[in-house]
Structure 1
Amino acid sequence: MATSADVNMLKEEPFTENFADLLTCTICLETFKQPKCLPCLHTFYETCISTYIVSTVKEVKPRGFKCPVCRRHVPIGDSAETPDKWARNLPGNHFVVSMIDWRAMNKAENLCNACSIESITQKAISWCTICEEAYCDACERHHKKYKMTRNHKIVLIKDIIEATSSLNICSFVACDEHPDKTIEIYCKDHSRPCCTVCATVHHRKCEYVVNIDKAVSGVKESTKAKELMKKLKETSKN
């Protein structure tokens, strides 16, 4: 669960330009879209890492590829799919997605994106995690009327900014395969977060499938998490 202290830190540091590199793909140098994470934790835009894999993997029966940054081997195993499909199955970096959403809301100064198209200045009250846009009350109602967007996850901006103790950052993250669903389940067998639909379809035979809240409990107090937070603060200071 994200606490007020965590969010205050995010508001003070990641939204600054010092953190722009963390939200930028090192291949195309653009802000992440569909960020995919490798086991070494290096993250890339899905299209970029897919192009890289196709251009570097030349074996007849490839078993993996090397990270473009650290050159660590990324095993694919016995996947029957061709290299051009590997990137699609890499886990998404949901933390990066959340940081990008928060930065976008901060830069937008909480103004309605739909109204701004018609040069109208209207204060936004909600945020669509699928469209990644802020809406005023009227535009939010219209957004919920259309068939294509009625099931999108809408959250109140004040809830994200205030970040009460009950705020779960995963509740704002959409499933890669089912954009209208949010992350609620974690499969320990595959080390992958997913929605309830994925859990039913792809992980029904897995032994260790738990609620996402249970999966993240105690993570912040772990030694690795504390070391990571220390490194992030040192990087920001530098």
Structure 2
Amino acid sequence: MATSIESHVVDITTCAICLEKLNIPKYLPCLHTFCESCLRTYITAIFEKEHKQSIECPVCRTTVTISKEVNTPDEWAKVLPLNFLIVGLLEKEKLRDHKTMHGEELKLFCADHHTPCCSMCVSIHHRRCAKVLSIEDAAMEYAKSDEVKYLKTHLANVDYDVKVIIKDRSSAKENIDKDYKRKQRDLEVIFSDLVAKINDLKVRREAELLKIYNEVKETIDTTLIFFQNKQKNIENEKQIIDAAVNMASNVQVMIEVEKLKKQVEEHKQVIQSKTKEIVNYELLLQDVENITKLAEQMEKACQISCKKPNTYIALSSVTVTPNVSEIFSCCRFGQHTCSWGVKGAKQDAICVSLSKEIELYGLLSYVCKDALATCDVTATVKDDTTDLVVVKDTIDSKVAENNTVKIMFPKPVKLLANKKYHVVVVMKGTSWCYAGGDGETVVDSNGVVFTFNNSPLSNNGTNTNAEQIPGFVFKISDEL
């Protein structure tokens, strides 16, 4: 049975046209799979010889009709779907290949550079490296380490982030569709009783609306499709590492993990760069009230535009700065010292009111004195007895600036002007933490006046003068 299954795997990973291993495997509606380049050549030959707008599958002869949106064989070959199953099988076959370099078996492993190498590689590129082991010894050490667990964790994180982004973009697409339909109905009501000149203007404005809608929808679809494809890649990589752990040797697991670690970092970089480009949209109709009053001004009235409200997506694998131009932070302390124990579970709290409405993106928090230590934090913003947001985070001293880090919320919280809120923080760690001093009860930050009062919820010493909850990360709502 094992031989039969293996033969079948070899068969489905071979292109029926060129009889070589599939390269960029694309499948037809009948599910037969071929190399993209082989399909391109085959389609070109059919078009040139028979002048048809359809082809037959080279295996089963099922007729496949060309899409009206496709103009060339090259375009048709490119839009055919990729066979991710075959891609996965080909990757699994690669795991069974013993790699060589410079014509030699890779019998050594440089721990400094995390790469397998041959004796020539060692003599040329790794002669100054402190730790070069036999690849078997390195694999034994690798098997005892947490590298596979680490990779799985980070792969799960980027997979989670991609799903979060896909969910966010799907929601944005649904909202812009609804918004488009609402605004379309508004336009219909506005223009229903107007004369021919205004009807002509209506057509132009609808065209503008449709153009902006299509542009926005295309932008959202592009991001959505990109991350959907990215998710497929990640799922494939998860299958590969699972297959390697279950089927491959320690050496092969080590090699595959090191290769996929680079892929994970690339995923993170792509997520970080792409997420910064993400914005939400809102279609706007401007100066609507002038339409019914001044028909001669219709050319300037009811303009179609698109508002882009601030977008913030909370991710787990990377930190993305909110895509807004005016995010501020304020601090209520004049200095800080290291004198605060975080071994207990008591809560620090402060009461704050604002002169203007703001969007609260997060809190500032001090870190542990030990530069290598972490501290678990639970932060809550309360409106009387109602929790507006509760966030749990692990703050890392290594990423602190001036012994302070930002604890960002999953989404901004709106705080109203002249209303009192209580901010509560519970810190749990194994060492001493920095704490603030010389606190101010009134802080003016970028035109917003923060007024601090002692909170009855504080039972760990934090007050208007000293200790924890040094400040906030916010945006002024009037500028949204």
Give the TM-score normalised by structure 1: 0.45
Q: Which has the higher contact order (CA 8 A, sep 6+)?
A: 1
Q: Which has the larger radius of gyration?
A: 2
Larger fraction in strand: 2
